[in-house]
Amino acid sequence: MQTEKIRLKDSNCKSIVLAGVGGQGTLVAGKLLGTIAMKTGLDVKVSEVHGMSQRGGSVITYVRMGCKVFSPIIDPGTADYCLCFEPLEALRWAPLLKERGTIIVNDAPVLPLPVLLGKEQYPEGIAEALEKACGIRARVIQIKAKDAAVSAGSAKAVNMVMLGALSVFADIPEAVWDEAIRETFSDKPKLIPMNLEAFRIGRDLVI
Protein backbone atom coordinates (compact mmCIF):
# COMPACT_ATOMS: atom_id res chain seq x y z
CA MET A 1 0.00 0.00 0.00
CA GLN A 2 1.38 3.40 -1.01
CA THR A 3 1.30 6.16 1.61
CA GLU A 4 1.37 9.89 0.96
CA LYS A 5 4.65 11.40 2.11
CA ILE A 6 5.10 14.36 4.41
CA ARG A 7 6.09 17.04 1.91
CA LEU A 8 7.61 20.47 2.39
CA LYS A 9 5.22 22.17 -0.04
CA ASP A 10 1.95 20.47 0.79
CA SER A 11 -1.21 22.53 1.26
CA ASN A 12 -2.70 19.73 3.35
CA CYS A 13 -1.74 19.24 6.98
CA LYS A 14 -0.12 15.97 7.95
CA SER A 15 -1.20 14.48 11.26
CA ILE A 16 1.13 12.27 13.30
CA VAL A 17 0.27 10.41 16.50
CA LEU A 18 3.04 9.28 18.85
CA ALA A 19 1.85 6.79 21.46
CA GLY A 20 3.72 4.92 24.15
CA VAL A 21 4.17 4.68 27.89
CA GLY A 22 6.04 6.83 30.35
CA GLY A 23 9.81 6.69 30.01
CA GLN A 24 9.92 5.76 26.31
CA GLY A 25 10.74 9.26 25.08
CA THR A 26 7.54 9.96 23.16
CA LEU A 27 7.45 13.56 24.39
CA VAL A 28 11.03 14.19 23.25
CA ALA A 29 10.17 12.67 19.87
CA GLY A 30 7.14 14.94 19.54
CA LYS A 31 9.18 18.04 20.33
CA LEU A 32 11.82 16.97 17.82
CA LEU A 33 9.15 16.65 15.12
CA GLY A 34 8.05 20.18 16.00
CA THR A 35 11.64 21.35 15.50
CA ILE A 36 11.80 19.56 12.15
CA ALA A 37 8.63 21.28 10.98
CA MET A 38 9.88 24.74 11.94
CA LYS A 39 13.26 24.14 10.29
CA THR A 40 11.52 23.31 7.03
CA GLY A 41 9.21 26.32 7.14
CA LEU A 42 6.06 24.44 8.07
CA ASP A 43 3.47 25.58 10.57
CA VAL A 44 3.18 23.08 13.42
CA LYS A 45 1.03 22.38 16.45
CA VAL A 46 2.03 19.87 19.15
CA SER A 47 -0.31 18.63 21.87
CA GLU A 48 0.82 16.34 24.69
CA VAL A 49 -1.29 14.15 26.97
CA HIS A 50 0.88 12.77 29.74
CA GLY A 51 -1.45 10.58 31.78
CA MET A 52 0.59 8.75 34.42
CA SER A 53 3.76 9.20 32.38
CA GLN A 54 6.08 8.73 35.34
CA ARG A 55 4.49 5.39 36.26
CA GLY A 56 4.44 3.62 32.94
CA GLY A 57 1.05 5.05 32.03
CA SER A 58 -0.11 5.86 28.52
CA VAL A 59 1.47 8.91 26.90
CA ILE A 60 0.25 10.34 23.59
CA THR A 61 1.45 13.27 21.54
CA TYR A 62 -0.35 14.82 18.57
CA VAL A 63 1.74 16.57 15.93
CA ARG A 64 0.14 18.40 13.02
CA MET A 65 2.26 20.15 10.40
CA GLY A 66 1.56 21.92 7.13
CA CYS A 67 1.31 25.31 5.46
CA LYS A 68 -1.23 26.44 8.06
CA VAL A 69 -2.36 24.48 11.10
CA PHE A 70 -5.29 25.71 13.18
CA SER A 71 -5.62 22.94 15.76
CA PRO A 72 -3.36 20.26 17.25
CA ILE A 73 -6.25 17.84 17.77
CA ILE A 74 -6.31 14.64 15.71
CA ASP A 75 -9.77 13.09 15.42
CA PRO A 76 -10.40 9.36 14.93
CA GLY A 77 -9.78 8.27 11.36
CA THR A 78 -7.67 11.31 10.42
CA ALA A 79 -4.05 10.49 11.37
CA ASP A 80 -1.66 10.01 8.47
CA TYR A 81 0.87 8.24 10.67
CA CYS A 82 0.79 6.54 14.05
CA LEU A 83 4.17 6.01 15.66
CA CYS A 84 3.59 3.51 18.45
CA PHE A 85 6.36 2.74 20.90
CA GLU A 86 4.55 -0.23 22.47
CA PRO A 87 2.27 -2.94 20.96
CA LEU A 88 -0.72 -2.54 23.28
CA GLU A 89 -0.64 1.23 22.81
CA ALA A 90 -0.67 0.63 19.05
CA LEU A 91 -3.86 -1.40 19.34
CA ARG A 92 -5.39 1.24 21.62
CA TRP A 93 -4.71 4.17 19.30
CA ALA A 94 -5.06 2.49 15.89
CA PRO A 95 -8.61 3.92 15.43
CA LEU A 96 -7.03 7.36 14.98
CA LEU A 97 -5.40 6.18 11.74
CA LYS A 98 -7.01 7.23 8.48
CA GLU A 99 -7.61 5.05 5.44
CA ARG A 100 -4.30 4.49 3.60
CA GLY A 101 -2.43 5.70 6.67
CA THR A 102 0.64 4.02 8.13
CA ILE A 103 1.21 2.72 11.65
CA ILE A 104 4.77 1.93 12.74
CA VAL A 105 5.01 -0.27 15.84
CA ASN A 106 7.85 -1.19 18.17
CA ASP A 107 7.23 -4.90 18.75
CA ALA A 108 8.71 -4.99 22.28
CA PRO A 109 6.04 -4.85 25.02
CA VAL A 110 6.44 -2.79 28.18
CA LEU A 111 4.90 -4.78 31.00
CA PRO A 112 2.75 -2.67 33.35
CA LEU A 113 3.15 -3.01 37.11
CA PRO A 114 0.10 -5.30 37.64
CA VAL A 115 1.62 -7.75 35.13
CA LEU A 116 5.04 -7.57 36.78
CA LEU A 117 3.39 -8.29 40.13
CA GLY A 118 1.56 -11.29 38.68
CA LYS A 119 -1.88 -9.78 39.22
CA GLU A 120 -2.71 -9.52 35.52
CA GLN A 121 -1.53 -11.01 32.24
CA TYR A 122 -0.26 -9.10 29.25
CA PRO A 123 -2.63 -9.74 26.31
CA GLU A 124 -1.53 -12.25 23.71
CA GLY A 125 -1.92 -11.97 19.95
CA ILE A 126 -1.64 -8.18 19.82
CA ALA A 127 0.22 -8.15 16.50
CA GLU A 128 -2.48 -10.26 14.87
CA ALA A 129 -5.24 -8.17 16.44
CA LEU A 130 -3.62 -5.00 15.11
CA GLU A 131 -3.35 -6.41 11.59
CA LYS A 132 -7.02 -7.40 11.78
CA ALA A 133 -8.07 -3.99 13.13
CA CYS A 134 -6.28 -2.14 10.34
CA GLY A 135 -7.21 -4.67 7.67
CA ILE A 136 -6.50 -3.51 4.13
CA ARG A 137 -7.33 0.12 4.89
CA ALA A 138 -3.96 0.95 6.45
CA ARG A 139 -0.34 -0.16 6.37
CA VAL A 140 1.14 -1.82 9.47
CA ILE A 141 4.92 -1.86 9.90
CA GLN A 142 6.26 -3.73 12.91
CA ILE A 143 9.93 -3.21 13.77
CA LYS A 144 12.33 -4.37 16.47
CA ALA A 145 13.00 -0.86 17.70
CA LYS A 146 14.20 -1.88 21.17
CA ASP A 147 16.78 -4.30 19.76
CA ALA A 148 17.91 -1.61 17.33
CA ALA A 149 18.23 0.93 20.13
CA VAL A 150 20.32 -1.47 22.20
CA SER A 151 22.62 -2.06 19.23
CA ALA A 152 23.04 1.72 18.94
CA GLY A 153 24.06 1.96 22.58
CA SER A 154 20.98 2.18 24.81
CA ALA A 155 17.40 0.93 24.99
CA LYS A 156 16.44 4.53 25.79
CA ALA A 157 17.15 5.43 22.15
CA VAL A 158 13.95 3.68 21.01
CA ASN A 159 12.43 7.08 20.23
CA MET A 160 15.20 7.90 17.75
CA VAL A 161 14.83 4.49 16.09
CA MET A 162 11.11 5.16 15.66
CA LEU A 163 11.74 8.62 14.21
CA GLY A 164 14.27 7.11 11.83
CA ALA A 165 11.60 4.71 10.59
CA LEU A 166 9.12 7.57 10.18
CA SER A 167 11.64 9.71 8.30
CA VAL A 168 11.57 7.27 5.39
CA PHE A 169 8.05 8.53 4.68
CA ALA A 170 8.96 12.22 4.90
CA ASP A 171 10.18 14.33 2.00
CA ILE A 172 12.60 16.06 4.36
CA PRO A 173 16.39 15.95 3.87
CA GLU A 174 18.25 13.68 6.27
CA ALA A 175 20.56 16.60 7.09
CA VAL A 176 17.60 18.44 8.64
CA TRP A 177 16.84 15.48 10.90
CA ASP A 178 20.52 15.28 11.81
CA GLU A 179 20.61 18.96 12.78
CA ALA A 180 17.42 18.68 14.85
CA ILE A 181 18.76 15.67 16.76
CA ARG A 182 21.98 17.51 17.53
CA GLU A 183 20.02 20.50 18.83
CA THR A 184 17.69 18.33 20.91
CA PHE A 185 20.62 16.74 22.75
CA SER A 186 22.90 19.79 22.75
CA ASP A 187 22.85 19.86 26.56
CA LYS A 188 24.07 16.24 26.62
CA PRO A 189 26.65 16.15 23.79
CA LYS A 190 27.89 12.67 24.70
CA LEU A 191 24.47 11.28 23.73
CA ILE A 192 24.45 12.80 20.24
CA PRO A 193 26.43 10.06 18.39
CA MET A 194 24.30 7.29 19.92
CA ASN A 195 21.02 8.99 19.02
CA LEU A 196 22.19 9.72 15.48
CA GLU A 197 23.16 6.06 15.09
CA ALA A 198 19.78 4.93 16.46
CA PHE A 199 18.02 7.21 13.97
CA ARG A 200 20.01 5.79 11.05
CA ILE A 201 19.36 2.22 12.13
CA GLY A 202 15.66 3.04 12.29
CA ARG A 203 15.76 4.27 8.69
CA ASP A 204 17.48 1.08 7.60
CA LEU A 205 14.77 -1.05 9.22
CA VAL A 206 12.19 0.36 6.81
CA ILE A 207 14.10 1.24 3.64
Q: Is the pLDDT of residue 157 over 50?
A: yes
Domain spanning 14-111+128-206, CATH class: alpha beta
Q: Is the pLDDT of residue 8 over 80?
A: no
pLDDT tens digit sequence for 95-151: 999 999 999 999 999 988 888 889 999 999 999 999 988 988 899 999 999 999 999
Which residues 6+ apart lie within 8 Å of 175 measured at CB?
none
pLDDT tens digit sequence for 158-194: 999 999 999 999 989 999 999 999 999 999 999 999 9
pLDDT of residue 30: 95
- pTM of the full structure: 0.90
Domain regions of the chain by residue span:
14-111+128-206
Phi, psi angles (nearest 5°) of residue 50 = -85, -35
Q: What is the mean pLDDT of the chain?
A: 90
